[in-house]
Amino acid sequence: MTWLLGDRPRTITTKAGEKRTIVELRDPARLSQSLVIWLDGGADDLPDLRIGTPIAFHVEAVRSGRARGELVATVSREAVVAAFARAREAS
């Protein structure tokens, strides 16, 4: 699938003290729909890309999120890092 980078990946720290990365993508056909990816660890290994950059990768599973039009994807960290690297090379 190929969606657009909706926001820069960010690192949060959970209440349990674990670092997590949040990646938000937008459907290019319907920008109101988003796909959120939660990854273990920080966002340090993801290249800085311009918002709106197309990102293409394989999604293992998708489920409904909390917000309207939001989906939550299951994707390996390696797939996301590789997809960001490819998008950086293409831009």
Signed CA dihedral, 35, 60, 20, 86: sign only: negative
User: What pTM was computed for the model?
Assistant: 0.87
Number of domains composing the chain = 1
Confidence of residue 6 (pLDDT cuts 50, 70, 90): very high
CATH number at residue 56: 2.40.50
In angstroms, the Cα distances linking 20 to 2, 24, 27, 52, 77 are: 23, 13, 23, 22, 11
pLDDT attached to residue 30: 87
Domain span at 83 = 2-90
